[in-house]
Structure 1
Amino acid sequence: MSSTQGTDLKARLFQQECHFTWALNKNDVDLKDLLNRLEEQLSLDFGKEAGAARTRSCMGFVKFLQGSNTEALSNFEKSVELIKAHRNDSDKLLVVAYGDLASLYHYMGHFAECEMYLNKLRKIKEKYPSVPYAEVLGEKGWTFLKFSLKYYEWAKECFKKALELEPENAEWNSGLAIALYRTEFVEQGCAPETSDAVNQLRRAIATNPDDDVLKVLLALRLAVFKKYSEAESLVEQALERSPEHPHVFRYVGMYLGKAGSLDRAIALLKRALEKVSNKAFIHHQLGLCYKQKIMKLKQAGSHQTEGAEIKRAQKQCIYHLEMAIGLKTGFILAMAELALQYGVNRDISRAKEMFRNAFQAAKEKKDNYQAVHVFYAEFQQYVMRCEPAAIKHYIECLKINPNQFEGKKSAKSLRKIAERRIGNNPNDGEAFGILGIIHKERGEKQQAIECFEKALTYVDNEEYLSDLCELRLSLQ
């Protein structure tokens, strides 16, 4: 092949819609964990050719990223077989699979095969010149949703565009509902009617009345709004209809844990361990349930029997969190939670080491850095009793993004610290400075100015002065 022909093939490949052109970065995901989830999904796709075809395409790309071109090719070819078996008019559904095959053959140096699939794609576009295709947008959305939380916003946009073309499509409605559920932050005091996730989950259930996973997700979100009656009804329906579906009882376990039915949640999640391949997620949830159980037992009192039960629960909490990070390397949230639990258990050296690992992993992955800061701040505040270090990390967390859950949590903790200190000493300049920082990061400029002015009447602080000058200039 001449260099001109090679350049032409590359240019044509870059124009295709497939996994190879969607800017999927293998450093954004644990490939082994993703493959386990896809294999689990494949078992759930039994009898659903379209879903299985999509899963096969994604598995093929993961195999390619792992360096196994033969297995990648096999998965892409199986995807094509499944699509053709699913529908006679399958051309639009074949776009991604053909693009993947063309890209893989080019990578392997099989240029004739690459050109063959590019020609197949050209014929599809000639037959259906109006682009984009909803089928391609939908597959792209599901890929982003499966691949990494960093791509959830992209997934939302893909599903929205697909629904503009096919508003009643059940799959795209489900995809958008799940994407919204995973990305929406619920403001305190809001009603469920204002929640895009709740509204879209209801719409998705209307178009997918047999999808019990969607019902449990809706129950989880309704529980946030304290709509327990409807949530309980949805959970009961899902369990009655799909008692063996791994995603159903995984999410039901989460729901029961959040609703305070900890023993039921633990039993259900342990049962889930026998059914699912993505065991790291379940172990993490079990760790969180035992953490809640410890808190409840401590609130109940300090009798000898409760003390022994607390120790058992602490041991189980740490065991399940250790299992989670053992099964999924780089599970940052589980690492940070485990580090905190080591600290609570007075294993300080292991706690500090695990926090170092969590910070390093978060830095490398550029993910969950904010969450690690808030966990470390709690460790400093409640375990090490070092309030200055806690304040420092709460502020670091707040500054990363004040509107995220962790940012709001840090702001709440900082406000409690500041108000307690002002209550003890009305001339505590640093406490007023903390309030000033909270207001500044939240964009509340006038309140921030007032707090910094109060702070500077009691302490000489260059940072507060700089912030005050900056805020005054911005209001001029």
Structure 2
Amino acid sequence: MIQTSKMSMDRERVLRTKLHQLECHFTWALIKEDIDLPDLLNRLEEQLKLDYGKKEALGRGYCALAYVKFLQGFQEEALNNLMTSVKLYIECHEEEFHKILIVTYGNLAWVNYHMKNYTECESYLQKLQTIDEKHSTEASSVPEVLGEKGWTFLKFSHKYYERAKECFKKGLELEPEDSECNTGYAIALFRTEHGGFTYTNSPTIKQLRRAIEINPDDDVLKVLLAMRLVIYKRCDEAEILVENALERSPDHPHVMRYVGKFFRSRGCVDRSIPLLNKALEKSPNSSFIHHQLALCYKIKKIQLLQEGNHHTKTSQVQQIRDQIIYHLEMAATHAPCFITAMSDLALHYGERREIPRAEELFQMTFQTAKEKNDNLYLVSFYYAEFQLHCKRCEALAIEHYMQCLKLCPGSPEGKKSCNSLKKIAEKRTRENTQDGEAYAILGFLHKEKGENLQAIVCYEKALSYVENDEYLRILGDLRMSMQ
């Protein structure tokens, strides 16, 4: 009995060592806490419908779906999805030992191991060994594997976008003409490139053009290129690309949603809203589309408020606010970790004078952001707005604007926080030239910009009007840094 138990443990240990050497979802450091599983599940299921008839794409989709089912604790479903993936790949390539099966066989080995089906696990490890021997290539250097790995990183979490970019880049070094890697690399660059480039040297624009050249029928890529061209004031070409994509693919849900986003970013919400609603009919569980619609209605709300005559427009503003809240609620329902949507929703509850409900949602969102270690600066910004405009609590607004600015100074929210703090401080110094806290706020802003000399002047002025140990400590640190 003891001998049998030892043999079983040895077998398990050997298997686990081999499993950790595989290239598959189980070895790609996909952390459950980084992933919004309900949202990912919705998006994968939607993609499977979109890829209907494309066996290779469906094979990849079922392989990814299997891993999500495993994370949710549904091992039998995971196994069934992986078997579907194998069937699709073999139908597509008519070969049991094609390189494209590396990831699926790896996942099958892992799932069977977790289900204690050790004989089955060993059989898939043997299949992988046969593929290795047949192709004489390390799995980590197989373009098909790098492509699947890159798409996994793109789909599973924004935290993995940089890793996705590296996978596609490596795949293109091996096969420069590979369609999937060119498309994936273009999308990864689109999602990770923020400022610092011009029209002529933008890697995103260059790669999008390259991907469209290889995939001329991919209308989603054309809309993404249009969205990037607008940033560099190339509006005429952008408009042509968008109209062409819409004409060619009027019912493609991804084309509709991105064209909707394009028009929304251009301020054309009356063109954006019908498109997004049409896309929503095809993808009713899309948190992305619901969020885009909420942003459209926010623009309409702002436009209405800027027109004046607030008293006569109160009911219209309320109707639009209700629309915003509905779409934000739906976005948060379908993506329970969608921190931007949750924070904005809490703020709009505050605008509707549902203060306790807003406070409760803000606290939940703070907790989610801390647990996920993600977008805490966003929650801080929205909470500051809530405190300033809904609760009229300037002290807490200042505290959270500062928190946002410290966490992410280069973000749009960080810049807005900086502007709000400056306005608050300048208003207070105009009303009271001896307001020590106002000068400390200005000192904080200079310090965050690295303007230490100006920060010292402001903190010295603050301390001339108020006694504050924290200001004194900051001033001491600033003086030390200048020595």
Give 1:324's aligned amino acid.
Answer: A
Give the match for residue 49 of structure 1: 55
- Which residue in the other structure is 1:11 paired with? 17
Matching residue within 260, 263, 267 for 1:260: 267
Name which of structure 1's ranges 301-310 and 400-409 shifts more when overlaid on structure 2. Answer: 301-310
Residue 8 of structure 1 deviates from its aligned partner by 0.9
- Residue 5 of structure 1 aligns to a residue whose secondary structure is helix
Tell me whether 457-466 or 336-345 shows the greater mean CA deviation. Answer: 457-466
78, 103, 110: which one aligns with 2:110 = 103
Determine the structure 1 residue equivalent to 2:69: 63
SS of the residue 1:192 aligns to: coil
Match for residue 38 of structure 1? 44
Distance 1:437 1:199 in 2: 40
Q: Residues 350 and 428 (structure 1 numbering): CA distance in 2 closer, same or farther, change over 3 Å? A: same
Given that 1:290 and 1:317 are in contact with CA atoms closer than 8 Å, whether structure 2 keeps it comes out as yes
Structure 1 residue 20, shift from structure 2 partner = 1.0
Q: CA deviation at 1:115?
A: 1.0
Unaligned ranges ≥5, structure 1: none
**In structure 2, what residue type is equivalent to 1:328?**
A
Are the equivalent residues in 2 in contact too, given 1:335–1:354 (CA < 8 A)? yes
1:116 aligns with 2:157: no
Residue 322 to residue 422, structure 1, CA distance change in 2 (3 Å): same
Residue 133 of structure 2 aligns with an amino acid whose one-letter code is E
**How does the TM-score come out when normalised to structure 2?**
0.91
Amino acid at match of 2:327: H
Give 2:252's aligned residue: 245
Q: In the alignment, which of 273, 276, 281 is matched to residue 274 of structure 1?
A: 281
Partner of 2:153: 144
Distance in 2 between the 1:303 and 1:377 partners? 24
Question: Counterpart in 2 of 1:212?
Answer: 219
Question: For 1:311-390, what aligned pairs fall within 5 Å after superposition?
Answer: 311-390=318-397
2:179 touches 2:211 (CA, 8 Å); kept in 1?
yes
- Which whole-Å CA distance do the structure 2 matches of 1:51 and 1:227 have between them? 33
Q: 1:137-175: per-residue Cα shift (whole Å, max 9, x none)? A: 221111111111222222222222222222332211222
1:380-414 deviation line (CA, Å, top 9, x unaligned): 12222222211100111112232333323322322
Q: Choose which of 52, 75, 80 in structure 1 pairs with 2:86.
A: 80
**Secondary structure at the residue paired with 1:15?**
coil
Q: CA-atom RMSD, angstroms? A: 2.4
Q: Distance in 1 between matches of 2:284 and 2:301?
A: 28
Q: Give, as a single letter, the amino acid of the residue that structure 1 aligns with 2:424.
A: I
User: 3-state DSSP class of the match of 2:282?
Assistant: coil
The answer to whether residue 175 in structure 2 is matched with residue 170 in structure 1 is: no
Q: What is the TM-score when the length of structure 1 is the normalising length?
A: 0.92
Q: Which residue of 1 aligns with 2:133?
A: 126
The 3-state SS of whatever aligns with 2:40 is helix
CA shift for structure 1 position 461? 3.1
The letter of the residue matching 1:179 is A
Q: What's the CA shift string for 1:302-342, capped at 9, x where partnerless?
A: 17764432222122112222222233333322221111111
Between Structure 1 and Structure 2, how many residues are aligned? 474
Q: Deviations over 1:233-270 (max 9, x none)?
A: 22111111111110111111112222111122111111
- Indicate yes or no: 2:425 matched with 1:435: no
Aligned equivalents of 1:341 and 1:185: distance in 2? Answer: 28
Deviation string, structure 1 residues 282-316 (Cα, Å, up to 9, x no partner): 22221221111010011112177644322221221
SS at 1:2 equivalent:
helix
Match of 1:402 among 390, 409, 417: 409
Query: Structure 1's 59 and 377: CA in aligned 2 closer, same or farther, altered over 3 A?
Result: same
Give 1:163-202 correspondences, 5 Å limit.
163-186=172-195, 191-202=198-209
Pair 1:450–1:137, CA change in 2 (3 A): farther
Q: Which moved more, 1:466-475 or 1:232-241?
A: 466-475
Distance (Å, rounded) in 2 between the aligned partners of 1:441 and 1:414: 12
Query: Is 2:38–2:336's contact at 8 Å kept on the other side of the alignment?
Result: no
1:362 aligned partner, one-letter code: A
What letter matches 1:112 in structure 2? T
Partner Cα distance (2:151, 2:458) in 1: 47
Kindly state the Cα deviation for residue 64 of structure 1 after the two structures are TM-superposed. 1.3
Q: Is this contact kept in 2: 1:339–1:354, CA < 8 A?
A: yes
Instruction: Identify the residue that residue 425 of structure 2 maps to in structure 1.
Output: 418
* Amino acid corresponding to residue 24 of structure 1 in structure 2: L
Unaligned runs of 5+ in 2: 1-6
In structure 2, what is the Cα distance between the partners aligned to 1:278 and 1:139? 25
